[in-house]
Amino acid sequence: MKLKFLWVIVFTSTVLVCGAKEPGRRIFVYGGEVEPKFVEYVCGLIGKADPRICYLPTASGDNDDNIRHWEFICKTLGIEPHVMRVWIDSETQRQSFEDLLLGMDAIVVGGGNTLNMMGIWKYQEIDAALRKAYERGIVLSGGSAGSLCWFAGGVSDSRPCNLSVVEGLGLLPFSHCPHYDVAAKRTFYDDLVVRRKLPAGYACEDHAGILFVDGTVADAVSSNHQARSYRVARGRSGLKIDTLESRVLLKKGALDESAYRKESFSGHVGDWMQAPYSMRTPFLAFVSVQRLFADGRYSEYAPYAVSALRERVAGMEDRAVDEEARAAKLSVRICAVLECGDFAAVVSKTSADFYSLWYFVREHEEWKCAGEDIGGASEADAETTFREKAPVVAAANGLTESDGRFRYVSSGR
């Protein structure tokens, strides 16, 4: 069963709550670790050109790798990275924890050991500062330990050996389970809720998130088409799990669905072995390239490559391909062709759980291969990847955007 709820209308730069002048107290939680789409979503909630967002890596012991990952995400999004470390001395940080946090537009808490983090926050009075931040309308966010901390309590692996219950700040009066797609955590959490050891609450799989406004679910999002969030409660006949109706986030600048044409296919590369080698369409060009690779004729690939790639592949040599590898290449399933002017991508499935994208550019009426990309865990994910990456990949291959389509500069069209 899917829950329907009052939606908050999320725009690129702001969030408007119908009938309210102020955005309210907002907490955005997600099941896994911090990722670019979720940080971009937080930026949209803030609605400022230069948002001040502070990352708290307390749960990971101020791990340097996590901090570098945060800085990389901020650089990608064009925002200044702020970090609040707790393993510091007074000479390193002249500002109090409270002053630092209350000067932010949003606070993002990283994953790690929730129990240790809550203990440090208590004795450093960071918990009190976060409560003040919440009341002042500063957006609170985080995943894993960074999501569990805002709830009354929930499931954690903070203690050795076994899963256990850890108390949070109680800003959201529900229980919570991050990483709900992990079978052991899901089973443990469900059992606690059905036995009333935990109150009803919300669970997020990795890559899925929930926005709460003034303690009420206002939005449910994910960074791929598989991840889900749930409302978990005890019903009259036992456990009651409702799937929240979710939408997939797109990176800023992604193609609109109306900007490209999609043609679906059903078959494998080997089904077109008798077709002539051709670059007349993206589909035929893809089949031709795959047949060359299946036969180990890599030296013949250069003429099929786009100009930006041709010099780099001109030195490829033929190589032996055993029957197993050849059969694998010929068994690649062709799912769809996505075409936007002189730029296109072929969606193919190369294994049981992996989709790929092959990009093509039309040069002088011939479709030339511009390389391969990771599509994702589903055909829908591959299409999302195409929509998000098309502007960058097209530009890197000498195409310009005109009237919502990508055009090859030398094509004369």
Catalytic residue set: 144, 179
Q: State the Cα–Cα distance between residues 402 and 388, nearest whole angstrom.
A: 17
Residue 305 is given by DSSP the state B
Whole-angstrom distance, CA of residue 107 vs CA of residue 140: 5
> Among residues 293, 261, 267, which one has the least CA distance to residue 390?
261
> Which positions ≥6 away from 276 have C-beta within 8 Å?
none
165, β-bridge pairs: 155
Query: Within its chain, how far is the Cα of 331 from the centroid?
Result: 29
For the record, the structure tokens of 368 come out as: 């030339």
Count CA atoms closer than 13 A to 16's CA, side-chain side: 6
Q: What are phi and psi of 390, to 5 degrees?
A: -50, -45
Residues contacting residue 335 through CB under 8 Å, at least 6 positions apart: 264, 265, 347, 348, 349, 355, 379, 382
Provide the token pair at 84.
């609040």
Based on the number of CB atoms within 10 Å of its own CB, is 199 exposed (0-12), middle (13-18) or buried (19 or more)?
Answer: middle
Q: How far apart are CA 194 and CA 199, in angstroms?
A: 9
Q: Are the C-beta atoms of 225 and 378 separated by less than 8 Å?
A: yes
Nearest residue to 287 (alpha-carbon basis) of 307, 309, 268, 262: 268
